[in-house]
Chains A and B, each alone.
Chain A
Amino acid sequence: QSALTQPASVSGSPGQSITISCTGTSSDVGGYNYVSWYQQHPGKAPKLMIYEVSNRPSGVSNRFSGSKSGNTASLTISGLQAEDEADYYCSSYTSSSTPSVFGTGTKVTVL
């Protein structure tokens, strides 16, 4: 099972909106509504930001939103803030021999 494809880096200015893509196949992202997104600051454990494509856990800012179209899921961060600078990973359930797969990761830089 190959990792899902994410852009290596995305950047934006404070207040802007950015979108991170996560591309898979019909066996993972496209086939199930089980895509989640994680934020990881340096030296810290990942934090769940979105589950089941578009749902936010309690306590996560509504500036974070998720969506999916075909085999590509997306995470949008609106009103970008300095604290959003981190690595972001998507993950999806898969029908392959490995039931779960992560994306390659995206480094978000706030200019």
Chain B
Amino acid sequence: EVQLVESGGGLVQPGRSLRLSCAASGFTFDDYAMHWVRQAPGKGLEWVSGISWNSGSIGYADSVKGRFTISRDNAKNSLYLQMNSLRAEDTALYYCAKDSFGFRELLVFSGENWGQGTLVTVSS
């Protein structure tokens, strides 16, 4: 059974940093692209960032470009999101999601499996 467990969320002041992690199990992690998607309280879904199976393709939403960095450690079956210069508008539930297909270079988001999310609150 595929399991994705996010961690690292919390309350942080504007301008500070936070690192999210996603621990994956139940599938061959290094075969699949992985993505971060967020949802602000009471709002819709927003794709944040994605990374291909071999880290050869990486993409970001314009709203986080230059501030967030996605990475993965295939040896640890883990996905990360380093978030710097956080703003109030980054407050959201952050989901980790697995792509539907393996070995895809194009960062097409087709989120077959999702975690339960980790809440990030940016406030002074």
Contacts and interface: CB of A to CB of B under 8 A. Distances in A.
Interface of A: 1, 3, 34, 36, 38, 40, 45-48, 51-52, 57, 87, 89, 91, 93, 97-105
A6 to B, nearest CB: 9
A48 B45 contact: no
Interface of B: 35, 37, 44-47, 50, 59-62, 65, 95, 100, 106-112, 114-117
Given A45-B114, A45-B117, A99-B50, A89 B44 contact: yes
A48 B117 contact: no
A105 B110 contact: no
Contacts of B110: 34, 36, 48, 51-52
B109 A48 contact: no
Contacts of B114: 45-47
Contacts of A51: 100, 110, 112
Given A45-B116, A45-B117, A48-B100, A100 B95 contact: no
Given A36-B109, A51-B110, A101 B47 contact: yes
B105 to A, nearest CB: 11
B29 to A, nearest CB: 19
A96 to B, nearest CB: 8
Given A1-B62, A45-B115, A57-B100, A102 B108 contact: no
Contacts of B115: 45
18 contacts: A34-B108, A45-B115, A46-B95, A46-B114, A47-B114, A48-B100, A48-B112, A51-B112, A52-B110, A91-B45, A93-B107, A97-B65, A98-B59, A99-B50, A100-B50, A100-B109, A102-B46, A103-B44
B59 A99 contact: yes
Contacts of A40: 45
Contacts of B117: 45
Given A34-B108, A48-B111, A89 B61 contact: no
Contacts of B106: 93, 99
A33 to B, nearest CB: 10
A1 B109 CA distance: 15
Contacts of A36: 109-111
